[in-house]
Amino acid sequence: MRKIFILAKTLLKGGGAFSMSKKRRTKYLIPLVLGLSFAVFGVMMVMLTFEIFDALDSVNQADIILPLVFGATCIMVFIFGVFYVVSTMYHAKDIELLASLPIRPYQMLSAKFITLVVYEYIMEAFILVPVMVAFGVKSGVGVTYIVYCIILLAITPIIALSIASVLVMVVMRFTSFGKNKQVFKFVGSILVVGIAIGLNIGLQALTGGNRSEEQLVQMIESGTSLVSTVSNVFPGIIFASRALINSASISGVINLALFVLCSAGGIAAFLGVGQLVYTKGVAGVTESSAKRKGVSDLGKEAARISATLSYIRKEFRLLVRSPIAFLNCVMMNLIWPAILVVMMFTSGSLEMVKTLLVTMDGGLMIAILVGMSAFVSSSNATASTAISREGKQLYVTKYIPLDMSKQLIAKILTGYFLSVIGIVIIVIVGIVLGMNVGVALIALVLSLLVSAVVAVAGTLIDVSHPKLNWMNEQQAIKQNVNVLLHMLVGLLFGAVAVVPVLFASMTMVVTILYLIAVFGGILIVLVWRVRGRAAARMLDMDA
């Protein structure tokens, strides 16, 4: 048992979930931001619960809140659990290392399970804790309520998590689903973004407007049916809410005991199934990637293309195949437009945006789209980590016989092509929302110009102080100040595009000329810098 806890502690420390940059300045920043956003969200949830409690209490149905929230927690734990389980128990780098240590499979499984439960506490903190607090305040708490809450918080994830992991272990053992890490990560990240957006929309709907009597009845009905479904899928979860509701009486203790028993059953099932199928399932994952295959069509695979094109292709391959680079350099171009769109839809200002799009002056509209493009282009980390990503292998760029300025241009183009995806999406959304097509196309062309400026600027920033001394790509991309600097520059260019047009109330023609002159000019200067000083600086580096 001691071994298991030591192992779990080590896994949690090295897991990266809570690890943060060692730099003093940023050391407190991340927890602070996280804590603050949690506080805001928590207060929101508490207020929401108060509101719903009062509404339900007026028809004597307030007790339905707890099973509902426990059910919701179970569902979230389950969904995230599936992904946590696959990534920590099958795709994690430490698996092979752990397998070589003198520990039994059940010890390793238990340790991993504990780390997963701890991860799930984060989820609970957002959903379960605020509701428990609100419910407690509203219905008047005793000491037992608080004690029960703490016990329940500690064990609530277990049932859903053990069901998720049993499912995953069986699937991984007998099918080939989830064996391709890259595809799995891609699907996973899209799903997480989707859930976040869905949750956002759902909460907006819950808080918005007055509820009529009829809606209330409907809510209770759908709530009751949801609760019964969830209790069927996650056996025993119903005891959790019963324990809390009856915390003042003996029935509370009984229900709590039953819930603990069910959770223990979940752990037993997890360990039992794990002993049977886990080792073979993991072997399947590691083996399938180690099987050697030759090249079927060498003529095609080794076909000659121009050096610059080949360089760009190499950059793309490396970006797409590294999960961190993929998320921050490729997915970013989809995520930012998605966030912008969701913000429009959920803030209830869609109608306003639509009317604005139709009535606003064409010139200003173009300027705003160009400004947005500048920011979105700067938010993908491709150009601003183009040199940093090379790391200790930067020397390769120095000995291959391709002009340094051509290499830099190839790197810039890689980032530029990716940004174009985001820009095209923004313009399409504009057209769908009723923007004049002609204006949209002009905005598109000018956005392509400004995005080029932004990409060149990003790589210039990275050339001037690249972060080369890193151990893992996380440090090169996520903990790279150049990425932030680049976003600031993107914001600045965005402001340069919008602010003068707004205040000088330029006509459309003047706006177009202004944007072409400013950004065309900057582009020429920056490209000249790339070919001259930046290339020279690269050759001067001692690596």
Partner 1 sequence: MIELKGVTKIYGGKVKALDDVSLSVDDGCIYGFLGPNGAGKTTTIKLMTGIIKPDSGSVLVNGLPAMSIESKKNIGFVPDDPNVFLRLKGVEYLSFMADMYEVRSAEREERIRELGARFEMSSALGDKIQSYSHGMRQKIVIMGALMHRPRVWILDEPMTGLDPKSSFELKKMMREHAELGNTVFFSTHVLEVAEKLCDKLAVISEGRILYAGDMADLKRKADTSLEKMFLEMTEHA
Give contact residues for ligand ADP (rule: CB under 6 A).
542-543
Minimum distance, C-beta of residue 308 to partner 1, in the bound complex (Å) = 9
Single out the segment in contact with partner 1 by CB under 8 A; choices: 207-215, 231-239, 398-406, 519-527.
398-406
Q: How far apart are CA 347 and CA 474, in angstroms?
A: 33
Which residue's Cβ has the minimum distance to ligand ADP? Answer: 542
Q: Specify the residue, 307 or 445, whose C-beta has the smaller distance to partner 1.
A: 307
295 lines the binding site for partner 1 (CB under 8 A): yes
Q: Candidates 280, 314, 465, 533: give the one binding partner 1 (CB under 8 A).
A: 314
Q: Specify the residue, 23 or 392, whose C-beta has the smaller distance to ligand ADP.
A: 392
Q: How far apart are CA 536 and CA 404, in angstroms?
A: 8
303 lines the binding site for partner 1 (CB under 8 A): yes
**Do residues 113 and 267 touch, judged by C-beta distance below 8 A?**
yes
Q: Which does 533 bind (CB under 5 to 8 A by kind): ligand ADP, partner 1, none?
A: none
93 lines the binding site for partner 1 (CB under 8 A): no
Q: Which does 26 bind (CB under 5 to 8 A by kind): ligand ADP, partner 1, none?
A: none
Single out the segment in contact with partner 1 by CB under 8 A; choices: 75-83, 277-285, 400-408, 449-457.
400-408
Q: Candidates 60, 100, 296, 359: give the one binding partner 1 (CB under 8 A).
A: 296
Q: Specify the residue, 301 or 542, whose C-beta has the smaller distance to ligand ADP.
A: 542
**Do residues 490 and 454 touch, judged by C-beta distance below 8 A?**
yes
* DSSP 8-state secondary structure symbol assigned to residue 92: -
23 lines the binding site for partner 1 (CB under 8 A): no
H-state helical runs in 58-104: 65-85, 94-100
Long-range contacts: 515-521, Cβ < 8 Å, 24+?
515/366, 515/367, 515/370, 515/446, 515/449, 515/450, 516/446, 516/449, 519/446, 519/449, 519/450, 519/453, 519/493, 520/449
Please count the other Cβ atoms lying within 10 Å of the Cβ belonging to residue 68: 22
Q: Specify the residue, 7 or 535, whose C-beta has the smaller distance to partner 1.
A: 535
DSSP result, 321-339 = HSHHHIIIIIIHHHHHHHH
Q: Which amino acid, 122?
A: I
Minimum distance, C-beta of residue 539 to partner 1, in the bound complex (Å) = 7
Q: How far apart are CA 528 and CA 522, in angstroms?
A: 10
Q: Specify the residue, 27 or 313, whose C-beta has the smaller distance to partner 1.
A: 313
Q: Candidates 104, 280, 317, 533: give the one binding partner 1 (CB under 8 A).
A: 317
Single out the segment in contact with partner 1 by CB under 8 A; choices: 48-56, 82-90, 127-135, 389-397.
389-397
Q: How far apart are CA 361 and CA 46, in angstroms?
A: 43
Burial of 243 (0-12, 13-18, 19+ CB in 10 A): buried
318 lines the binding site for partner 1 (CB under 8 A): yes
**Count of CA atoms in the C-beta half-sphere (13 A) of 256:** 21
C-alpha dist (Å) from residue 463 to 128, 384, 395:
47, 9, 14
Q: Which does 210 bind (CB under 5 to 8 A by kind): partner 1, ligand ADP, none?
A: none
214 lines the binding site for partner 1 (CB under 8 A): no
Q: Candidates 400, 484, 513, 516: give the one binding partner 1 (CB under 8 A).
A: 400
In the region spanning residues 446 to 465, those forming contacts with partner 1, defined by CB under 8 A, are none
Q: How far apart are CA 244 and CA 256, in angstroms?
A: 8
Q: Which does 398 bind (CB under 5 to 8 A by kind): partner 1, ligand ADP, none?
A: partner 1
Q: Specify the residue, 209 or 299, whose C-beta has the smaller distance to partner 1.
A: 299
**Do residues 443 and 371 touch, judged by C-beta distance below 8 A?**
no
Q: Specify the residue, 502 or 543, whose C-beta has the smaller distance to ligand ADP.
A: 543
Q: Candidates 97, 150, 290, 471: give the one binding partner 1 (CB under 8 A).
A: 290
Q: Specify the residue, 251 or 288, whose C-beta has the smaller distance to partner 1.
A: 288
**Do residues 194 and 111 touch, judged by C-beta distance below 8 A?**
no
The structure tokens 């029935």 sit at 251
Q: Specify the residue, 222 or 393, whose C-beta has the smaller distance to ligand ADP.
A: 393
Q: Specify the residue, 209 or 401, whose C-beta has the smaller distance to partner 1.
A: 401
State the maximum Cα–Cα separation within the chain, in Å, rounded to a whole number.
81
In the region spanning residues 319 to 378, those forming contacts with partner 1, defined by CB under 8 A, are 321-322
Q: Which residues would be at the binding site for partner 1 (CB under 8 A)?
A: 289-290, 292-296, 298-299, 301-307, 309-311, 313-314, 317-318, 321-322, 392-393, 395-396, 398-403, 539-543
